[in-house]
């Protein structure tokens, strides 16, 4: 009988084509995991993630589940997988989960952080994990603009490719802009996010930060629902999936 296992996975997404496995390449996070678990199980295994991260996006707390019948302890399974994973992917936690647990369908809240290096100095050591904006960012103005996005809204203007079949209404319950010296972090939590939504929100707030738009303009962007009125989509390398939360 197969058991259900929950995993927390960390990865540096720099050299990968995103989370989701693809037929045209095996260079995805899910693809690497599927391959190792299939070898362990002796038959094809599909790892279910909490959601897709795009090419170049990182994670500290991606969550996935997998069903296995192997007679091994949780630690033995985790050690086996980490032995064969590349160094930029790791299963940092693993535990047996209830049969009904599903990493995507059971998720109730996700938190992302977009990291900006706000300086004209070279960002030598973290250049792969932060986006650089040299012009000084007005964090107070960015926070005022962020306030218009908190709550339940139609975020169509902040979606790259909205589906006609799916709702673009989402709930953001936290959106904070925090300066840490030369670093500015945009932290956003909610019940789910549209395609490229976090990177477009970050880009819009960054435009407020450099004075290209006023904070109240963000409210108008929400109401208009037009992608061309929102800000530029910032590069993937600054985005990290911090955590996924569940009611279990």
Residues forming the active site = 54
Q: Tokens at residue 198, please?
A: 């976090």
List helix spans (H) across the chain.
Answer: 29-41, 74-84, 139-147, 197-209, 217-224
- Rounded to whole angstroms, what are the CA distances from 219 to 12, 42, 168, 216? 34, 54, 16, 5
> 204 near 219, Cβ under 8 Å?
no
Q: Any residues with CB less than 8 A from the CB of 14 and at least 6 apart, and which? A: 56, 58, 88, 128, 237
Q: Any residues with CB less than 8 A from the CB of 223 and at least 6 apart, and which? A: none
Euclidean distance between CA atoms 54 and 82, whole angstroms: 22
Give the residue from 173, 113, 176 showing the smallest Cα distance to 139.
176
């Amino acid at each position: 009988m197969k058991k259900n296992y929950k995993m927390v996975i960390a990865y540096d997404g720099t050299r990968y084509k995103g989370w989701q496995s693809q037929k045209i390449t095996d260079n995805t996070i899910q693809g690497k995991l599927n391959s190792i678990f299939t070898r362990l199980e002796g038959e094809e295994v599909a790892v279910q993630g909490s959601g897709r991260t795009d090419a170049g996006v990182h994670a500290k707390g991606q969550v996935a589940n997998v069903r296995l019948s192997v007679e091994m302890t949780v630690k033995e399974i985790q050690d086996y997988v980490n032995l064969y994973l590349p160094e930029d992917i790791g299963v940092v936690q693993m535990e047996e989960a209830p049969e009904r647990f599903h990493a995507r369908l059971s998720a109730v809240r996700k938190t992302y952080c977009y990291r900006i290096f706000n300086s004209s100095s070279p960002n030598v050591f973290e250049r792969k994990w932060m986006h650089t904006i040299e012009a000084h960012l007005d964090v107070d103005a960015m926070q005022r603009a962020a306030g218009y996005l908190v709550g339940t809204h139609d975020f169509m203007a902040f979606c790259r490719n909205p589906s006609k079949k799916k709702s673009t209404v989402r709930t953001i319950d936290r959106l904070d802009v925090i300066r840490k010296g030369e670093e500015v972090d945009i932290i956003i939590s909610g019940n789910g996010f549209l395609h490229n939504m976090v990177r477009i929100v970050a880009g819009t707030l960054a435009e407020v930060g450099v004075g290209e738009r006023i904070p109240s303009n963000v409210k108008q962007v929400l109401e208009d629902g037009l992608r061309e009125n929102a800000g530029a989509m910032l590069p993937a390398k600054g985005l990290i999936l911090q955590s996924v939360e569940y009611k279990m």
